[in-house]
Amino acid sequence: MQAYIVRRLLLMVPVIVGVSVIIFVILRAIPGDAIDAQLESSGNLSQAQRQQARAELGLDKPIWQQYLIWAGNAVHGDLGNTFQSHRPVTTELKNRVPITAEVALLAIVIVVSTGIPIGIFSAARRDGIADYSMRSISVLALSAPTFWIGIMLLFVLSRYFHYFPPIGQGFNLFSSPGQNLQMVIFPALTLAAPLSAVSMRLVRSQMLEVLRQDYVRTAWAKGLRERQVITRHALKNAMIPVITILGAQLGALLGGTVITEQVFTIPGTGSALRNAILQRDYPLVQALVLCLALIFVVLNLLIDLLYARLDPRIRYS
């Protein structure tokens, strides 16, 4: 197992390097650069001023040289400064990533605590009234766009409950946990709604497949209770594909959800990535994409290790 983990960690290096090269090239293949984006709001500059500005940002060098300079600094923990605010990119990451991480983790907690139990219950009561009801609700949750769910949630809270969530007022987890929870719970619920529906339907289908297996019939024949059959014999095998989906969902959420962050005015990675792309802020875009890539490869490793815990037949050598 240790040798497998070491190999996977070593394989992360070429993956991260490859992602950095791809995003570096793609960004510079987009027409215009940070100077052109600034001209749209600041007015015209002379050709000499534009050349000077590009030289100050290092955009006048060949692309391979730009990459080597940036990669060399990144290895030492220096991701550069943003083109717009001229602040260190690491500072922007420290301010943005924890906010998105808090919302994403809370959303996954909601998904696990609702989608999985409902899927198990629906499979155990197959073709019953509760099963049809849960499946209908899941279809509605999957059909509704995420931004619409967020807007309707805000509308219902303000119109019928006269409650206005404190959105866009900063996130203070440790100094004011109660206010912080009010700010993150509704974005988390918005993100969790379609993901809970996906998890519920996947758990239901996997549980129905596992419940047809011979070893489960043997457990029923031994006279075990329904709870014992489901939790001890069926659930672990049914959870393997569910864990895969949850890991991918968590990676996507940590990467930032642009629309939800716009609806709830959340200063997270999604809104930062959108603004950075529009402003051609290369250092910030590169750093955010690298963080996303790193999150995905780490989550894939953790999921693979969790497989062996759920199914003793899986071995890594």
Q: Is the pLDDT of residue 14 over 80?
A: yes
Is a pLDDT exceeding 60 seen at residue 41?
no
Reduced 3-state DSSP string for 223-243: CCCHHHHHHHHHHHHHHHHHH
Instruction: Please give the structure tokens belonging to residue 108.
Output: 């996954």
Q: How buried is residue 282: exposed, middle or buried, by Cβ count under 10 Å (0-12/13-18/19+)? A: buried
Cα separation, 83 vs 38, whole angstroms: 10
Give pTM, 2 decimals: 0.81
List the one residue out of 132, 147, 154 whose CA is nearest residue 191: 147
Mean pLDDT of the 116-126 span: 86
- Which among 144, 153, 106, 102 has a CA at the least distance from the CA of 266? 102
How far is the CA of 194 from the CAs of 68, 197, 280, 316, in angstroms?
Answer: 42, 5, 32, 34
Q: Which residue has the higher pLDDT, 212 or 44?
A: 212
Q: How confident is the model at residue 312 (pLDDT cuts 50, 70, 90)?
A: low
Asked which of 46-55, 214-223, 302-311 is least confident by mean pLDDT, the reply is: 46-55
Q: Is 313 strand, coil or helix?
A: coil
The pLDDT-based confidence of 110 (bands split at 50, 70, 90) is: very high
